[in-house]
A and B are shown apart, each in its own frame.
Chain A
Amino acid sequence: DGGITQSPKYLFRKEGQNVTLSCEQNLNHDAMYWYRQDPGQGLRLIYYSQIVNDFQKGDIAEGYSVSREKKESFPLTVTSAQKNPTAFYLCASTDTGTGGSDTQYFGPGTRLTVL
């Protein structure tokens, strides 16, 4: 999991609450990603950002929001509009610059449970 931290490890949310998941990387990577993992469905892309102050929707962006104000940080907010937010959330980053490795490095994940 080196170089990427996610917090908290476990998060509990009540119905109707917004919650924010933290992702920080010290790898100086340009691109960062948020995935959602559900049993039997693999990883689904929520949002990604290729550069500071810019981000794009992934395949399942509804009910989520992100910001990229700093290169090292890419927080994800799960809003009350997300109807089934219970899942394991993974953050990743990639060095997409010239000579970059194209390999995605993942954080340890945050398990979100709606009560």
Chain B
Amino acid sequence: AQSVAQPEDQVNVAEGNPLTVKCTYSVSGNPYLFWYVQYPNRGLQFLLKYITGDNLVKGSYGFEAEFNKSQTSFHLKKPSALVSDSALYFCAVRDNGGDDKIIFGKGTRLHILP
């Protein structure tokens, strides 16, 4: 069965510093990996995804993520954080060889300190 873990409930970063939000996954087949962001009382917004190809994926709002197969990780990164990046971030995985279910992590709350 597929699973995804976000080991940090909360990450605090000073504005202008680089940020990393961690995600690890487990699937039996090849993974489809996603990052979403959620602002208060809103639905989730898609940031980026890895399906195949280059391990470094670039997405919306300057975010990027690196697929690392040996470490089964897909950490979200941004070189310089903005206060407006403060939100709840979800990592998600789908097993390419399975059904259409996508499993979400529990979320990591990102606080960017001015």
Contacts and interface: CB of A to CB of B under 8 A. Distances in A.
B42 A108 contact: yes
A35 B32 CA distance: 19
A111 B99 CA distance: 28
B41 A111 contact: yes
Contact of A109 (B41, B99, B102): B41
Contacts of A109: 41-43
A111 B42 CA distance: 10
Contacts of B94: 102
Given A42-B90, A94-B100, A102-B51, 12 more contacts: A1-B43, A42-B105, A43-B44, A48-B100, A48-B101, A90-B44, A102-B32, A102-B94, A106-B43, A106-B45, A108-B42, A111-B41
A104 B41 contact: no
A42 B100 contact: no
A87 B65 CA distance: 30
Interface string B92-111: 10100001111011110000
Nearest to A103: B46
B9 interface: yes
A104 B43 contact: no
Secondary structure dominating the interface of A:
strand
Contacts of A48: 100-101
Contacts of B90: 42-43
Interface of A: 1, 4, 6, 31, 33, 35, 40-43, 45, 48, 50, 58, 88, 90, 92, 94, 96, 102-109, 111
B22 interface: no
Contacts of B44: 43, 90, 92, 104, 106
Contacts of B102: 33, 94, 104
Contact of A90 (B43, B100, B105): B43
B99 to A, nearest CB: 8
B34 interface: yes
Nearest to A9: B41
Contacts of A96: 100
Contacts of A45: 101
Of the listed residues B9, B34, B42, the one surrounded by the most CB atoms of chain A closer than 10 A to its CB is: B42
